[in-house]
Structure 1
C-alpha cells in the first residue's frame, strides 16, 4: 500500500536555508564600489576639481549618471536572487536610456562639427580608462556572482546583463573620479566601451556560474 502523502512527509529531511535579503546584496555591491573607488584614488589620484570639492558640471553629470545606473541595475539584480510574483524592477531601463544620451550627444556633435573627433578616439588615456574601469568591474562583479549563487535566480540571462551593467557602471564611476578628460566624445566612446564590455562579459559568464 502506497504511503499517503502529507505535508509532514514532503518536508521530512529538508534543511532550512538562510533567507536571501536584497538589501544585503545592495550593501555588498556598494561597499565593493566604494572600496574600488578608494583604491583607484590612492593608487592613481583623483581630479583636482573633485579634491577641491568644485567638480566641473560635466564631471557631476557623468558621475551622477553612472551612480544612478549602477544603483538601479544593482537593485534589480539583487531582487532577482529571491523570486517573487510581480514587482518587477524596471527603473534600470530608464537609467540606461538616460546614459545613452551621452553617445547621442556625441553623435549630434560629430554631425554638427562635420568630423570624427580623433583626439577622443585615439586618446592615450583610453587604456587607463578600460584597464581601471574593467578591473574594478571584475572585482564588483565577482562578489555579486558569489552572492547570487546563494539565491534562486529564475532568469540567469537577465541577471547576467544586469550584473555586468551594475559592475561596469560602478567600476567606471570609480575611474571617473580620477579621469582628467572632459570631452563628451571621450565619455561616450570610452566610458561607453567599458560599461558595454562589462555588460557583455556579464551576459556570457554569469548565467553559467549561477545556474541551479
Structure 2
C-alpha cells in the first residue's frame, strides 16, 4: 500500500470513530483537568496568601506561561493525532510560551539587582516543584497517551512528547497556585525541568504504547 493510501485509510478510520476526534480531545482534556485538580487539592493545595498574590504581576504571569504552553500543545497534539493534518502552524505556535518566559526573564534581570539573581533562580521550593508537577501531571499524561490511540498519529514518539508537554502545562498551571516562588528566573528553570520530565515520559509512552 502506498503511503498516501495508508494516510487516507487512517484518516477515514479516525473520522469513523463514535465521537469526532476534536470533541474527544476536548473531553479527554476536561477529564485530565479534573484528575489534576483532585491530585492538587488533596496533596499541596493553593498557597496560603493566594488572594494577596493574585494582585501581583509575577504571580499572574506564571499562569500566562503555563496556559499558553497547554493551549499550544493541545493544538499540536490534535494535529499530530489526525493523519494527513498539517502540523506546521501548530508547531510554530509552540514557541510562544518559551518566548514569553524569555521576555519575562530579561525584564526580571533588568528589574532585580544582580546580587539577587541567584537567590531568585534557586528559590525555596525547587525540589517540591520538580516533584509535584510530574505527580500532578502523570494522570493527565496517561489520559493523553490513551487518546493518541483513539486517533492515529504517524509519529508516536513525537506525539507522546507533545502529550507530555500538554500534561506538563496543565500540571504546572495547578502547581503555580501553590508555588511561592514567583520569579520568572525560577519558573524558567525549575518549571521547565519538571515539564521536561513529563515530556520524556510522554515520548517513552508514545514509543511503547501508541502504535498502529
TM-score w.r.t. the length of structure 2 is 0.76
1-structure distance, mates of 2:96, 2:17: 38
The answer on whether the counterparts of 2:70 and 2:169 sit within 8 Å (CA) in structure 1 is: yes
1-structure distance, mates of 2:58, 2:108: 15
The answer on whether the counterparts of 1:47 and 1:177 sit within 8 Å (CA) in structure 2 is: yes
Query: Deviation of residue 89 (structure 1)?
Result: 6.0
The answer on whether the counterparts of 1:49 and 1:55 sit within 8 Å (CA) in structure 2 is: no
Query: Deviation of residue 135 (structure 1)?
Result: 0.9
Aligned residues: 196
CA 1:114–1:124 in 2, change beyond 3 Å: closer, same or farther? closer
- Paired position in structure 1 for 2:87: 88
Query: Deviation of residue 42 (structure 1)?
Result: 4.2
- Paired position in structure 1 for 2:118: 118
Query: Deviation of residue 52 (structure 1)?
Result: 6.2
CA 1:100–1:91 in 2, change beyond 3 Å: closer, same or farther? same
CA RMSD of superposed structures (Å): 2.9
2-structure distance, mates of 1:52, 1:106: 23
**3-state secondary structure, aligned to 2:151:** coil
Within 5 Å, give how 1:1-212 maps onto structure 2.
18=18, 20-48=20-48, 50-51=50-51, 54-84=54-84, 86-88=85-87, 90-91=89-90, 93-103=92-102, 105-106=104-105, 113-114=113-114, 117-212=117-212
**3-state secondary structure, aligned to 1:41:** helix
1-structure distance, mates of 2:17, 2:197: 35
The answer on whether the counterparts of 2:145 and 2:205 sit within 8 Å (CA) in structure 1 is: no
2-structure distance, mates of 1:116, 1:52: 23
Max Rg structure: 1
TM-score w.r.t. the length of structure 1 is 0.76
CA 1:205–1:134 in 2, change beyond 3 Å: closer, same or farther? same
Task: Detail structure 1 runs of 4+ shifted over 6 Å in the superposition.
Answer: none
Residue-by-residue CA offset, 1:47-98 (whole Å, 9 max, x unaligned): 34544694421222210221121022123213333323x5436335324333
**3-state secondary structure, aligned to 1:179:** coil
